[in-house]
Amino acid sequence: MIKTTLQLRTSQNFQLTPQLQQSLKFLQLSSLELEETLNQMVSENPFLTTEELINDEFTQNTSSLENLTQSNNNIPPEDIYSNDAEILDEPRFESDDMKTLYDSFNNTIQQELATDSQWEDYYQGDDSLKDYTEIKNNRLNEEDSDFLDYHNSHMTLYDNLAEQIELSLFSEKEKIIAYHIIDALDEEGYLSLSKDELILGLETEDKYYSFIEDFNSVLLRIQRFDPIGLATWSLKERLLVQLSTKTDCSIKTNAHILLSKYSTQLEKRQFTEIIKLSKLTDSEVKDALKYLASLDPFPAQKFANQQQTISAPDIIVKKRNQHIDISINNQILPKIVLDKQYVKMLQSSKKSSIDHENKTENPLQYLRQAYEEAKNILISIENRHKTLLLIANQIVVFQIDFFEKMDGQLKPMTLKDIASDVDMSESTVSRACQNKTLVCDKGLFELKYFFQSHVKNEDGENVSAEKIKTLIKLWIEEENKAKPLSDSKIESLLNSEGLVVARRTVAKYREQLGFSPSHLRKMI
């Protein structure tokens, strides 16, 4: 028989408050993601506005005042300014509902909600961070702006091709095909759809034209756009396109033979078999290989680098004389402030039963809730800035040699090292460094780049992985191409330097550096 019993239990659990959840969300967003989020919040919350909107309104009011003065030359100046004061004091609303709400609230003034006089003391924008020693969170000055100006001056791969399409003598139908082709390119410039899928997509979008007969000719012309070799389906096809644009010669002919007939052997570096099968001499194969090496397997790479550069850094580190300045890049973030009109409305309002879209909702309660949400958003932004600056400052202190010396190397550093210094959990530090970049005199780096794993040398001292990678890179670049260094040989070389590194670790670092295994690096 089943018995029903009543039991009382107590337990403890940890729950994040909405404010803390929002702060953590803001912390892990990059500047561009935060900008998009804040713009959406400004559009949804009446208590939030931006300094740009305030400046626009001020400009409009100034213009109205000038027009008023010109049209009332015979009116005494004091009357004009008196009338203007009335106009400027009258709030402007985005909808009739909000104006009705304000008019009703203004009938009786009741200080039910105390004036938040301490808010400006609590939220001081960037100036509130000046108490942090060795940290200067200043707005970007002209020098910093020049430092970032180049981000906005580069074309993307799509823009480059679109410009060439417009300059080409394409018919209207050919233009449709051309744009459809470049829309299907991935970051490396390869076509992400098959030929049949591209034609089917064209016929689905525009049934007026027949695209099959013109597709190949348009594709061929785009493949010869600058840079040559885009809009292909494979590396072999890309290099063959580039070869077709070269001046005819015997070396080009031999290179075409190797690429078109022996691409599999080329990939595996089976040069002896290539010589045997192609009936070419050693010198002819060597010359053909050098010719192929002059081609560009990554024509879209420069655009990929520029697209990465366009993404503005989150943190700026500038060396000024003997001092290093660390600042948050606020150039792309909207400058969020409280809208004084709505704050004034809330402070001078009383409970009312005005008709609202939601009949059961108290308008005053809605405004209070929106006001609290607006304050929480500003606090979350402030907390994000403080946390990022603290972590960035500690990273710079820890890796000071890297930032002060052009040949400075990174030291081994873990999340735990930074977390203990800034009195935060490792998860918070990890969240803060996620999708964040730092720009300094040496270039643009992800924050996670500065967290270096390490190995111990014979003396028990920690040696950063970056130093080991530098040695591996140096040895591979200087190796005998006919007898490239194997991972086991590199392991032995590291051991001779007093660095105990396993062969699988060597292989991992080699792959991170972009080097192929030894049998693929072999040259004849």
Q: Which amino acid is at 157?
A: L
- Report, as ranges of residue numbers, the positions in the chain whose pLDDT lies below 50: 57-95, 97-102, 104-142, 149-153, 307-309, 350-360
Give the pLDDT of residue 391: 93
Token duo for residue 183:
């829309």
Give the pLDDT of residue 392: 92
What distance lies between CA 454 and its chain's CA centroid? 28
To the nearest 10 degrees (0 to 180), the angle between helices 415-422 and 363-398 is 120
pTM of the model: 0.50
Report yes or no: 225 and 164 within 8 Å, Cβ to Cβ.
Answer: yes
Q: Bridge partners of 190? A: 232
Which H or E run contains 43? helix 31-44
Angle made by CA atoms 351, 353, 358, in degrees to the nearest 5: 115
Report yes or no: 379 and 21 within 8 Å, Cβ to Cβ.
Answer: no
Report yes or no: 229 and 185 within 8 Å, Cβ to Cβ.
Answer: no
Q: Which amino acid is at 234?
A: S
To the nearest 10 degrees (0 to 180), the angle between helices 363-398 and 426-433 is 90
**Cα separations (Å) of 195 from 108, 200, 219, 459?**
72, 9, 10, 61
**Cα separations (Å) of 158 from 32, 188, 262?**
21, 12, 33
To the nearest 10 degrees (0 to 180), the angle between helices 363-398 and 340-347 is 130
Report yes or no: 351 and 364 within 8 Å, Cβ to Cβ.
Answer: yes
How many CA atoms are closer than 13 Å to the CA of 151, on its beta-carbon side? 17
Q: What are the two backbone dihedrals, phi and then psi, of residue 383, each rounded to the nearest 5 degrees? A: -65, -40
Q: Bridge partners of 50? A: 336
Long-range pairs for 401-406 at CB < 8 Å and ≥24 separation? 402/442, 402/450, 403/317, 403/319, 403/324, 403/440, 403/441, 403/442, 404/319, 404/324, 406/441, 406/442
Give the pLDDT of residue 305: 54
Report yes or no: 154 and 309 within 8 Å, Cβ to Cβ.
Answer: yes
